[in-house]
Structure formats: structure tokens, C-alpha cells
A and B are shown apart, each in its own frame.
Chain A
């Protein structure tokens, strides 16, 4: 399938929306009590359309950052902007959740009581701007594009976990979001399914360019998917090293064996390992 994809698919030049700017964000849990610092003066600039991989050991506070962007909880200080508009900052500690930033959750959050098609149609149905026929036509065709035809009337519990993740991404894309926020979505998948999911995700990305903020602790996944890796220090969380992945898009699984991939792996591995050891010694729990 990679043969038909033309060369500029990986370029960000044509993407205008979805630039995230994180400035000096601090998050302290329970400031009056135990005062746990989860994020420490963290600044990251993500250009529109970039696949930005946030890499760090489990429990380092990556998810805290994601939740702040999504608007699930507030920040203690600093600011986050999306395309120059303030999401949260000094006057407004918590962002309002909205369909311009959609989260793909760690354990998947397809509604098990709705069919896959109803799940995909959920966002636009709630917005109520289009007619039901228009929404369902769009949902069907988007599912077909993602190779999900035939699963429309099944419930999420009836299909494989790999397909469920694909449905969830399609459900997010139905709302034309500017940013997709991935919270280690492939963590629970076996390595074979994972590799299929990675190629599928890139394929979807080449068709619908959105900014991707992707949390992972899997280095191979990070380098394979990302334009850029931001390796975070263990708690409190702040960027420690940035690795530019200069392997050109579109990519397929052959890049995994390329020498450049190995070099980047080695470059990142030492830093990640050091942080993981620190986190391990500090006895951090999952968070």
C-alpha cells in the first residue's frame, strides 16, 4: 500500500491548524497537603500537523500533561495555547474539553452499549449540526476507508482489540479535530497487532493530517511513528532530550531494520534508560 502514497504525504507544509504551545506548565497535586509535583516548568512547542511522541517511564507525569491539554484537570501555573488561543493559563486554570482535541484512551473508551457505527456517529450526533442521514453516511464511508466495513452493526465487545482502537480513532476523526491526544493506546496489544496498528495509524494520518500528541514508553513505537521524540525526565516531568526523527515519511515497517533507525534507537535509549532507572529507584508507581 505504501507504493501508492506520494512523497509529500509526510510533509507538514499544508497543515495550518493544530499548533500546541505549552509554556512553563507546572502541576502540583494536592498543593496544601502532600504537594506532589507532577509537571515541573515544562515547555513544548508542537507545530501544526506534527506527530509528537512524548516518551518517558511509567508514572512520570506524561498523562498529567495530556489531561491538562484535554481539559480533564487544571494546571497550577503556566499556560497552554492551541493555535494562539488560550486553553488554560493564569486566569483560567482548567481548559474546557472540546471536540477540537480528542483523546484516544489507554484502555479504549468506545461505549460498549453502542454499536461501532453509533459510536463513530456519536460526536456529530451530539453536535446536532448535520442531519442523521448525512452523519451516518459519513460514518459509514469513514469506517470503510479505515478498513472497518462489515463491523458497523457489531458491538465493540465483539471485535478484536486492534479493530476497536481503529474504530476509536475514526470516531475521533469524525469531528474534524485539530489535535489527537493518544494516551498509550497500544500498550495492551500484542506486538503483532501493534505493528499492524502502527501502519494503520500512519495510513489514517496521511489521509487526515492532524497534530498528534502521542504518549508512549515504547521507544520503537515512538521512533517509527514520530516526527520528533520528546524524552521526559521522571517525576517531576519536564523535557530532557529532543530527538528529531529524520527518516522520511511515508514509512512502512521496513524502516525498523534500517541503519538510521538503529542509530536513533541508540541515541534515545541511553537517556530513556537513565530516567527509567531513576524512576525505578524512586519507587514511582503507575500514574
Chain B
């Protein structure tokens, strides 16, 4: 495409068209290169029923009336195409050489034309993407145009395994997409770099401890010793994936984390929201908050033991404390980050102060709240282990500390690796919860990716 401005317009129109949304950049460029732009005046005919089906069309601006022929058995014949809609798909169907619909522009309209045969040829060079686009075409024909599956199934397949006729409607799209995502992930360097990183770390550990026996690492257990112990049915130090003891420690740590985390969230989020929302409230509370916040959790240990009796409550209190500050502060920042136009717009539209709080402040602060919760679950693990080392029975921190005192060094490493894995899983769960609650954000970011 010689004209770059034109090219970017074509690309953005292509990206807005459902079947092409998943096409990667370089292939998209190639598709853009075979696109032509054409404009139609209001009421002008674009093509007639029975005409030669050569091109696929994408509406860039304006609107088009699409009338399917009665022989298609479509459950609905009339359809208005607007910006981003795709029509003229007969051009990509196998065994379909003429138009099955008549189309005419409703207003002044700009369309992109792509030759169907050339398009299919392009996809032969990248069959994985081709299949995704064609299954999307099939879904489009079937779901958006209400045309029976038998016609939609005439879209060509590029790989036998994914041929559209073997599967049904939306399942096809999700499955093809998953396969597509996994295959691009495997094609990218990311998984291999990750494996190399792990391998480098393990070999450094093994070399320094087991082979070179460096002075600093004399008492360190090596990876062989640790992993044999960890996966042994009859562990020497009494802790492996086959002993119930192991799961009891994990379970109790998780219980404490859950209790402290939910308490911190339940108190921290509302407090943060009100701190951000009400200036007066912030002036009362925030200075106090700012004095307490920098005190490290470890400094609270003696006081926690004095204040709370037993061995359980001090640990939970310490875990709660760190989470609570992280959650509250981030929630408050979240409220402050909300663009003023949103609250102004809400007030213009007649929302009361309370309605603005519910409909603007809470959802607007949500991204920050979840950043806060991510931090909160991280520091919760941190202070949990600190607490369990000082007080408490059971738990992963307790395992690490007693293993140290009893000179059972492999157990220390088992405890540490377990903490890493369990900690990662809990923070992934928080992230997934956030994605679930903020669909709007997920969808926005997904579009930005392309």
C-alpha cells in the first residue's frame, strides 16, 4: 500500500471486522495489501442476487441493506450492515460462485473489498490463522445472518483436524481460539526462556552444592537430596507429599491466610473507599493511618503476643495487619484516581451523591482495589511466615523454623518451595477473581493487544 494514512485506515477497518480480529500483524498487512476501498452514494446498489461472488466486503463507514434470497432458508432475510460488519461471504464459500443476497447502501458508505480467492490463498501460507478466521466466518454466517449450518459449513478448512463441519457453532470458535493461542505461545520464545531460567537455577544449585561443594554451601541440602525427600514414600525426616502431616501444615497456613485476608479485605476496602470519598473523614483518619503504616509487621510481634492469648490469634493478627494497610491504601488511591469527568457526568445525569458512590466510585476504584488485593495476599504470606516462626503450631513457617532447630535442612527447602507454589496459586486466584469482576477491563485490554 503506497499511502500510509490509507493503509492505517484499512487496517483499523479490518481489525474491527469480527472474523479478522485474531489475525496477527504481518498477515494483516498482507490482507490490507489486497484490500481496495470503494464508496457508494445513498441508495446505490452494491451487488445483485446471482451476480458473480468475487469479493468479501467490510463496512468502514455508513450502512448497507443486506437482503438474503429466499432459497437460503435463513430465518431472517433483512439485515442492516454497519461499520465493522462483514458481508459478501459467498466469495469465500466452497462450491458457491454467485451472490446469495442483494445489497445496497442506505447512506453514503465506504467499504473495503477483499478478493475471496486471494484471501484464501493468503491463508494457505498460515493455516492455523486461516482456520480461526474461517471458523469465525462460519459462526458469523450461521449466527449473525441466521443462515443454516449447511451453508456456513461450506467455508474452507485449512487443516483437517479443525474442519468446521466436524464441530458446532460457538464451540468451534472457543476451541479453535484456544488451540490457536497455545500454538502461538509454543511458537513464541516465552515457554523456552522460562524453561531455560528454571534449568539455569537448578543447575547452579546443583553445581554449587553437590559438585563444587563451595564453602558457603557446605551445610546446604542439594536438589537431589531435597527432591528425593520430597517425593519419597518413606521420608527420612518425616515430611513428603505422601505424608498427611505435609497437607496439614499447608491446610493450616491456608486457613490463617484466608481468615486474615478476608478480614483485611472486608475492613480495608470500605475504609479505603470512604477515605478516598470524604475529605473530612480522610483528615481525621489518614494522618493516624500514615503513622501506623510504616511500622514493619515484625515490630508488632511482641505486642501481638502480649495482646492476644493462645498461639493462633497473634499469627492471624499479624497476617491481617499487613494486608489491611495495603488494601486500604490502594483502595483510597483508586478512588482518587477516578477521572473527575465521571463523577461530573453522573451528577449531570441526575445521580445523587450516594448513587454516584455506588455507580462511579466503587467500580472506578476496582482496578486499584484488585492491585491492592494482589499486594495484600503477597504481604499476608510474608507476615504469616514471620508469625508462624515466632508463635503457633503447624503451618509452613513453623515447618521451616523447627526444621532449622532440629537440623533437618531438606525440610527447610521443602517448606520454602511449597510456600512459593501455594503463594503463587493464591495470588493467581485473586487475579482471576479480578478479571471475572472486571470484564470490561479484560475486554478492553484484549482489544488493545491486537
- A residues near B (Cβ < 8 Å) are 1, 3, 70-72, 97-99, 101-103, 105-107, 109, 111-115, 122-123, 126-127, 147, 149-150, 154-155, 157-158, 160, 163, 171-172, 175, 192, 196
| Cβ contact of B345, chosen from A98, A105, A150, cutoff 8 A | A105
Q: Is the CB of B342 within 8 A of A97?
A: no
Docked pose: A175 CA to B345 CA in angstroms: 13
Q: Would you call B212 an interface residue if the criterion is a C-beta within 8 Å of the partner chain's C-beta atoms?
A: no
* B contact residues around A171 at 8 Å (CB): 349
Interface mask (B335-349 → A, CB under 8 Å = 1, otherwise 0): 000010110111111
* B contact residues around A123 at 8 Å (CB): 349-350
| The 10 residue pairs across chains A and B that have the minimum distance between CB atoms | A157-B444, A109-B345, A123-B349, A113-B363, A109-B341, A99-B350, A155-B440, A97-B347, A126-B351, A105-B341
Q: Is the CB of A113 within 8 A of B344?
A: no
Interfacial residues of chain B within 51-79, with CB under 8 A of chain A in the complex: 61, 63
Q: Is the CB of B42 within 8 A of A109?
A: no
Docked pose: A123 CA to B345 CA in angstroms: 10
Docked pose: A106 CA to B340 CA in angstroms: 12
Query: Which of the candidate stretches B241-249, B352-360, B374-382 sits at the interface with the other chain?
Result: B352-360
Docked pose: A70 CA to B107 CA in angstroms: 35
* A contact residues around B63 at 8 Å (CB): 147
Interfacial residues of chain B within 309-358, with CB under 8 A of chain A in the complex: 339, 341-342, 344-352, 355
In whole Å, how far is A117's beta carbon from the nearest beta carbon of chain B?
13
Q: Is the CB of B351 within 8 A of A150?
A: no
Considering the complex, give the chain A residue whose CB is closest to the CB of B12: A160
Docked pose: A122 CA to B355 CA in angstroms: 11
* A contact residues around B439 at 8 Å (CB): 155
* A contact residues around B366 at 8 Å (CB): 113
* A contact residues around B341 at 8 Å (CB): 105-107, 109
Interfacial residues of chain B within 420-446, with CB under 8 A of chain A in the complex: 438-441, 443-444
Taking A1-B42, A111-B363, A126-B355 as contacts, is the C-beta distance between A160 and B350 under 8 angstroms?
A: no
| Cβ contact of A109, chosen from B342, B352, B444, B447, cutoff 8 A | B342
Q: Is the CB of A97 within 8 A of B348?
A: yes
Considering the complex, give the chain A residue whose CB is closest to the CB of B444: A157
- 11 more A-B residue pairs beyond the given contacts A97-B348, A155-B439, with a C-beta to C-beta distance below 8 A: A1-B106, A105-B345, A111-B363, A113-B438, A113-B440, A114-B363, A126-B359, A127-B350, A147-B82, A157-B441, A196-B61
In whole Å, how far is A164's beta carbon from the nearest beta carbon of chain B?
12
* A contact residues around B350 at 8 Å (CB): 98-99, 123, 126-127, 175
* B contact residues around A172 at 8 Å (CB): 348-349
* A contact residues around B444 at 8 Å (CB): 112, 155, 157-158
* A contact residues around B232 at 8 Å (CB): none
Q: Would you call B393 an interface residue if the criterion is a C-beta within 8 Å of the partner chain's C-beta atoms?
A: no
In whole Å, how far is B122's beta carbon from the nearest beta carbon of chain A?
26
Q: Would you call B94 an interface residue if the criterion is a C-beta within 8 Å of the partner chain's C-beta atoms?
A: no
Q: Is the CB of B61 within 8 A of A102?
A: no
* A contact residues around B84 at 8 Å (CB): 160
Q: Is the CB of A102 within 8 A of B16?
A: no
Considering the complex, give the chain A residue whose CB is closest to the CB of B13: A160
Docked pose: A107 CA to B339 CA in angstroms: 10
| Cβ contact of B9, chosen from A98, A115, A163, A192, cutoff 8 A | A192
Taking A99-B349, A122-B349 as contacts, is the C-beta distance between A111 and B82 under 8 angstroms?
A: no
| Cβ contact of B349, chosen from A115, A155, A175, cutoff 8 A | A175
Docked pose: A106 CA to B341 CA in angstroms: 9
Docked pose: A154 CA to B61 CA in angstroms: 19
Q: Is the CB of B82 within 8 A of A109?
A: no
Q: Is the CB of B344 within 8 A of A72?
A: yes
* A contact residues around B344 at 8 Å (CB): 70, 72, 97, 103, 105, 109
Q: Would you call B372 an interface residue if the criterion is a C-beta within 8 Å of the partner chain's C-beta atoms?
A: no
Docked pose: A82 CA to B338 CA in angstroms: 31
Q: Is the CB of B348 within 8 A of A98?
A: yes
Considering the complex, give the chain A residue whose CB is closest to the CB of B437: A113
Q: Would you call B364 an interface residue if the criterion is a C-beta within 8 Å of the partner chain's C-beta atoms?
A: yes
Taking A99-B348, A102-B348, A155-B443 as contacts, is the C-beta distance between A149 and B342 under 8 angstroms?
A: no
Q: Is the CB of A158 within 8 A of B443?
A: yes
* B contact residues around A113 at 8 Å (CB): 363-364, 366, 438, 440-441
Docked pose: A175 CA to B346 CA in angstroms: 12
Considering the complex, give the chain B residue whose CB is closest to the CB of A113: B363
Q: Is the CB of A150 within 8 A of B82?
A: yes
Docked pose: A71 CA to B343 CA in angstroms: 13
Q: Would you call B163 an interface residue if the criterion is a C-beta within 8 Å of the partner chain's C-beta atoms?
A: no
Docked pose: A112 CA to B351 CA in angstroms: 17
In whole Å, how far is B77's beta carbon from the nearest beta carbon of chain A?
17
Q: Would you call B371 an interface residue if the criterion is a C-beta within 8 Å of the partner chain's C-beta atoms?
A: no
Docked pose: A160 CA to B84 CA in angstroms: 10
* B contact residues around A3 at 8 Å (CB): 42
Docked pose: A275 CA to B140 CA in angstroms: 54
Considering the complex, give the chain B residue whose CB is closest to the CB of A150: B82
Docked pose: A102 CA to B16 CA in angstroms: 30
In whole Å, how far is A66's beta carbon from the nearest beta carbon of chain B?
11
Q: Would you call B80 an interface residue if the criterion is a C-beta within 8 Å of the partner chain's C-beta atoms?
A: yes
* B contact residues around A101 at 8 Å (CB): 348
* A contact residues around B348 at 8 Å (CB): 70, 97-99, 101-103, 172
Docked pose: A158 CA to B446 CA in angstroms: 9
In whole Å, how far is A104's beta carbon from the nearest beta carbon of chain B?
9
Q: Would you call B7 an interface residue if the criterion is a C-beta within 8 Å of the partner chain's C-beta atoms?
A: no
Docked pose: A105 CA to B348 CA in angstroms: 11
Q: Is the CB of A157 within 8 A of B363?
A: no
Q: Would you call B83 an interface residue if the criterion is a C-beta within 8 Å of the partner chain's C-beta atoms?
A: yes
Docked pose: A101 CA to B9 CA in angstroms: 36
Q: Is the CB of B83 within 8 A of A112?
A: no
Taking A1-B107, A192-B9 as contacts, is the C-beta distance between A111 and B349 under 8 angstroms?
A: no
* B contact residues around A112 at 8 Å (CB): 440-441, 444
* B contact residues around A111 at 8 Å (CB): 342, 345-346, 359-360, 363-364
Docked pose: A150 CA to B84 CA in angstroms: 11
Docked pose: A112 CA to B360 CA in angstroms: 10
In whole Å, how far is A102's beta carbon from the nearest beta carbon of chain B?
5
Taking A1-B107, A112-B444, A157-B440 as contacts, is the C-beta distance between A163 and B83 under 8 angstroms?
A: yes
Q: Is the CB of B440 within 8 A of A122?
A: no
Docked pose: A163 CA to B12 CA in angstroms: 14
**13 A-B pairs (CB sep. < 8 Å):** A72-B344, A97-B344, A103-B344, A112-B440, A113-B364, A123-B350, A126-B350, A127-B350, A147-B63, A149-B80, A149-B82, A175-B349, A192-B9
Considering the complex, give the chain B residue whose CB is closest to the CB of A171: B349
In whole Å, how far is B137's beta carbon from the nearest beta carbon of chain A?
18
Docked pose: A172 CA to B348 CA in angstroms: 9
